[in-house]
């Protein structure tokens, strides 16, 4: 028995109505979805830490999520694991004509924009044929903003260069200041969202992944802050008793020490 067949059998047993696991039996697509997202993040975390033993385990946990959803779908008569595996295989074959296509397509090699063009043709065959179709609502907001901007750009709705995006950011900053002046919480939140969306589009024009850039910024802040904490503590002082001027001096020193 192959490992995947064994896993499918384990999953079926866990969901068995007679002698399965009570917790697994009561789950549905919605209740399992958060675990699926969490496992994907844990895969990314293992990669970031270059912990490949953990990566093996986390990939297994993520695979189990796929099998769990496929089992529930099978029970509902929707599809099964073979359908899932077959669909993604067919999609990859379709989207890589330079690898799996005709002799002429393979000879032509990969074409710039070819992947997006094939995806656009796939969307055209569906009920929702908007350029924005398929951009998952559950994506992290930064990633979703990046994808929405990119998709809109494929049909020409985009700034011609980064200068236009910078101008938009300045415009959104002004509108945020107006909202702050109005003291309307709803308006402030709306304008702040518009500002973030414009900043994400600047990242796209600079060829920067905003999610990755923010993660790097978070890490840099944490590294410097922890170093500052340690320096103050070693000096016998409490961080929350320092003046802002003193903290700023410590922060600049931490930047020099840890970068």
Give 186-206 pLDDT, tens digit per residue: 999 999 999 999 999 999 999
pLDDT > 90 fraction of the chain, expressed in percent and rounded: 75
Rg of the chain over Cα atoms, rounded to whole angstroms, equals 25
- Average of per-residue pLDDT values in the chain: 92
Check pLDDT > 90 for residue 179: yes
**What integer is the mean pLDDT of 136-163?**
92
Nearest to 65 by CA among 23, 89, 29: 29
Structure tokens at 186: 């709803």
Percent helix, strand, coil in the chain, to 5, is 75, 0, 25
**Band (239; pLDDT cuts 50, 70, 90):** confident
Give 69-115 pLDDT, tens digit per residue: 999 999 999 999 999 999 999 999 998 888 888 888 777 777 776 77
pLDDT > 70 fraction of the chain, expressed in percent and rounded: 99
What integer pLDDT is reported at residue 113 of this predicted model? 67
Check pLDDT > 90 for residue 123: no
Higher-confidence position of 108 and 22: 22
Q: For the chain, what's the residue count?
A: 259
What integer pLDDT is reported at residue 158 of this predicted model? 95
**What integer is the mean pLDDT of 134-159?**
91
Stretch (H or E) spanning 22: helix 22-25
Check pLDDT > 70 for residue 171: yes
What is the pTM assigned to this prediction?
Answer: 0.66
């Amino acid at each position: 028995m192959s490992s995947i067949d064994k896993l499918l059998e384990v999953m079926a047993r866990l969901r068995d109505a007679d002698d399965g696991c009570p917790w697994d039996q009561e789950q549905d697509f919605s209740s399992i979805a958060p675990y699926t997202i969490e496992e994907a993040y844990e895969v990314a975390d293992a990669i970031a830490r270059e912990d490949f033993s953990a990566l093996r385990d986390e990939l297994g946990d993520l695979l189990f999520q796929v099998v769990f959803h496929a089992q529930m779908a099978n029970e509902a008569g929707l599809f099964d694991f073979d359908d899932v595996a077959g669909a993604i295989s067919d999609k990859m074959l379709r989207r890589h004509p330079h690898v799996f296509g005709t002799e002429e397509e393979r000879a032509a090699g990969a074409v710039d924009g070819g992947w997006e063009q094939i995806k656009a043709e796939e969307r055209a065959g569906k009920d929702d044929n908007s350029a924005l179709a398929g951009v998952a609502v559950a994506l992290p907001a930064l990633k979703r903003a990046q994808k929405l901007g990119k998709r809109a750009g494929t049909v020409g709705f985009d700034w011609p260069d980064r200068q236009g995006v910078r101008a938009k950011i300045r415009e959104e900053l002004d509108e945020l200041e107006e909202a702050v002046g109005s003291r309307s919480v709803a308006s402030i939140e709306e304008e702040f969202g518009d500002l973030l969306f414009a900043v994400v589009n600047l990242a796209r024009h600079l060829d920067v992944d905003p999610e990755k850039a923010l993660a790097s910024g978070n890490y840099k802040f944490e590294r410097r802050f922890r170093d500052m904490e340690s320096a103050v503590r070693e000096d016998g002082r409490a961080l929350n008793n320092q003046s802002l001027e003193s903290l700023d001096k410590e922060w600049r020193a931490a930047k020099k020490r840890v970068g």
